[in-house]
Amino acid sequence: MSLSEIKQRIEKAEAAAGRAPGSVQLVAVSKVQPDARVRDVLTQGHRLFGENRVQEAAGKWPEFRADFDGVSVHLLGPLQSNKARQAMELFDAIHSVDRPKLARAIARLAQELGQCPDLFLQVNTGEEPQKAGVLPADADDFVAEARALDLPVKGLMCIPPVDEEPSLHFALLRKIAERNGLDGLSMGMSGDFETAIGQGATHVRVGSAIFGARDTAG
């Protein structure tokens, strides 16, 4: 599917949900994609991208940034505390702040660097043992702690279980965001971004639907 088709589907979903045109940002997930495909999407004018790994992003985005103005890259995947500094220097936003320890490490570095990317706190809405994020029951405390650390918390992020109806998870994330006064909702991927927009997503993370299937799991 082409970039313009995805954008049209986003516009339609915005309209169907009674939301303002342009209220949803498309994060084009370029992890593991060949550089030529990413460059093609950049050439079409798209500027917002998502990556899963610090190392991979560090290897390709400095060059793309040198070639294209106004590029924004968001980290979507798990972040080890010892890579937080590099991530904060590389990314414009981090969607995967998934535990208090990481929030505290980011806060210390923000003091030192005098800057901090926009942050989304990840909630494990499906309470899956293998998945990152705080449990829904701990989300309010996590938001409060991140705010007490003076972090720029823009919203929440979730990745629903693969075998469950995603809309229930999107609705839960939205409810947690609303009661905490957060506007940002990073939710929805290739298979369910329209559903997520219906539930209030502000950032949809779409990879394979734009770039084609990934050769390796990311």
- Output the residue with the shortest Cβ distance to ligand PLP: 207
Nearer to ligand PLP, 52 or 195 (CB): 52
Nearer to ligand PLP, 14 or 98 (CB): 98
Least separation in angstroms between CB 73 and ligand PLP: 14
Q: Give yes or no for residue 29 binding ligand PLP (CB under 6 A).
A: yes
Residue 191 CB, shortest distance to ligand PLP, in Å, is: 6
Task: Considering the complex, state which of residue 77 and residue 117 has its C-beta at the smaller distance from ligand PLP.
Answer: 77
Contact in structure between 180 and 154 (CB atoms under 8 Å): no
**Footprint of ligand PLP on residues 109-128 (CB under 6 A)?**
none
**Are 102 and 133 contacting, i.e. CB atoms less than 8 angstroms apart?**
no
Residue 77 within binding range of ligand PLP, rule CB under 6 A? yes
Contact segment (CB under 6 A) with ligand PLP among 63-71, 97-105, 130-138, 207-215 equals 207-215
Give pairs for 74-80: CB < 8 Å, separation 24+.
74/27, 74/48, 74/49, 74/50, 74/203, 75/50, 75/51, 75/117, 76/27, 76/29, 76/31, 76/50, 76/51, 76/52, 76/157, 76/205, 77/31, 77/51, 77/52, 77/53, 77/218, 78/132, 79/54
Q: List contacts with ligand PLP (CB under 6 A).
A: 29, 31, 52, 76-77, 159, 189-190, 205-209, 218
